Amino acid sequence: MIKYFLKLDYSVSQWMGKNNQETAINGTVHLFLTKIWFISQSLFFLILPLFSFTLSAERSTILIALIIAIIMYGGKKPTKKLITRYNLPNEYKKCSKEVRVQRNSLALILLVVLFITMCLIGVFSFSGYSLR
């Protein structure tokens, strides 16, 4: 499953990076970890209101920043290792143009859907949260 999402992200990164392999690898890492961040942030938004205590806006912001830092900086090296292990640059070269366009479209749609979902979950789960 992870390999499939990395393939999608690599295709978008290669397309946006103008076929520069190093830029494509860094872009893949960023896109993949951003999607993981969106998912984990959605889970945070769902779990936090279940606790009986409330966090101030400053503490919530600090906690969110900590989650971002852990995912974005802690996940760089393992994700780069996965890209080289799965040999994504060679797989990308073997794909037809039609497959590349499909992957680009799917990856961008997935990114937008995850972002919108995270925002909606945040709004709906915190509506009334500060009124407790």
**DSSP structure string for 26-72:** HHHHHHHHHHHHHHHHHHHHHHGGGSSS---HHHHHHHHHHHHHHHH
Q: Taking the model in full, what pTM does it have?
A: 0.86
**Residue 57: per-residue pLDDT:** 72
DSSP, collapsed to helix, strand or coil, labels residue 105 as helix
Average confidence (pLDDT) over 43-57: 79
Give 7: exposed, middle or buried? Use CB within 10 Å, 0-12, 13-18, 19+. Answer: buried
Indicate the pLDDT class of residue 78, thresholds 50, 70 and 90: very high
Give the pLDDT confidence of 1-42 residue by residue, as tens digits.
889 999 999 999 999 988 788 899 999 999 999 999 999 989
